[in-house]
Amino acid sequence: MNKKTRVLVTGASRGIGLALVENFLADDDSEVVAVSRISRPERLSKAFDSRLHWITADISTDLGRQAVAGQVNQMGGLDILIHNAGALVYKPFKEIDEKDLHRVYNVNVFAPFLLTQVLMPYLGKTHVVAVSSVGGVGGSVKFPGLSAYSSSKGALNVWIEVMAAEFAGSELTFNALALGSVETEMFASAFPGAVASCSSEAMARFIVDFSRNMGDLIKGKIIPVSSSNP
């Protein structure tokens, strides 16, 4: 029997995260830990139950991260870790308060950082992929109302680059995919009325392929994946 590809996806309840879970499970060789703060969506088929481990947890808390680590320990490790969970603050700069900043940085920066720390004992030849934003890439077009969100994604991108440097001598691989306009609830909130150039399902297929096949070839890169922004 072929060894299963062990995958963890955060922010799994909707949008790209849910599509990632479904795409990985469509391949019989994948076993998936899906993490979300809310319950499992009804549309996930019960037929996948033997290979799907749904965890309802808040990974911005230590309790939530330990719950995830416990499941990964039972699986014996991870081959792919996808930091997909994200939070958006869409407000004029003058209206953003400390609570807003804490929320967006907790989810977009601190949670991936601290969850990866907790999971280190279970990471070997593992491809760690952060789902980021082209808005967090230096020199890209920026938009009003996204000072908190885009700066948090910029911090996430730099963290990925530093992790790649720190673990350059190991089998761990770190990359970030900086997405442009993708049809998600978050995109609709940030750009009301705009039409995204890519569906969540199409982007999920790309991320699955990248995370499966590119870890040995691409390391420590922030890769814009965008045909338009927005």
Q: How far apart are CA 26 and CA 19, in angstroms?
A: 10
CB atoms within 10 A of CB 99: 9
pLDDT value at residue 230: 60
pLDDT value at residue 83: 98
Q: Is the dihedral of CA 58, 210, 128, 149 positive or negative?
A: negative
User: Can you tell me whether residue 3 is helix, strand or coil?
Assistant: coil
User: Can you tell me whether residue 184 is helix, strand or coil?
Assistant: coil
CB atoms within 10 A of CB 76: 12
CATH number of the domain located at residue range(s) 5-225 in this protein:
3.40.50.720
Q: How do the residues of the chain divide into helix, strand and coil, expressed in percent and rounded to 5?
A: 45, 20, 35
CB 178 within 8 A of CB 224: yes
DSSP tag of 64: H
- Average pLDDT score, the chain: 94
Peptide bond before 230: cis, by omega within 30 degrees of 0? yes
pTM of the model: 0.94
Tokens at 138, concatenated: 């230096």
User: Can you tell me whether residue 67 is helix, strand or coil?
Assistant: helix
| Residue range 200-217, pLDDT digits in tens | 999 999 999 999 999 999
Tokens at 132, concatenated: 């980021």
First-last CA distance in the chain? 45
Q: How far apart are CA 154 and CA 132, in angstroms?
A: 8
Measured CA to CA in angstroms, residue 92 lies from 7, 82, 148, 184, 230 at distances of 37, 30, 10, 21, 18
User: Can you tell me whether residue 53 is helix, strand or coil?
Assistant: strand
Q: How far apart are CA 113 and CA 175, in angstroms?
A: 14
Mean pLDDT check: name the lowest of 132-141, 157-166, 195-204, 220-229. 220-229
Better pLDDT: 155 or 226: 155
Q: Where are the domains of the chain?
A: 5-225
Task: Examine the pLDDT at 1 and tell me if it is beyond 60.
Answer: no
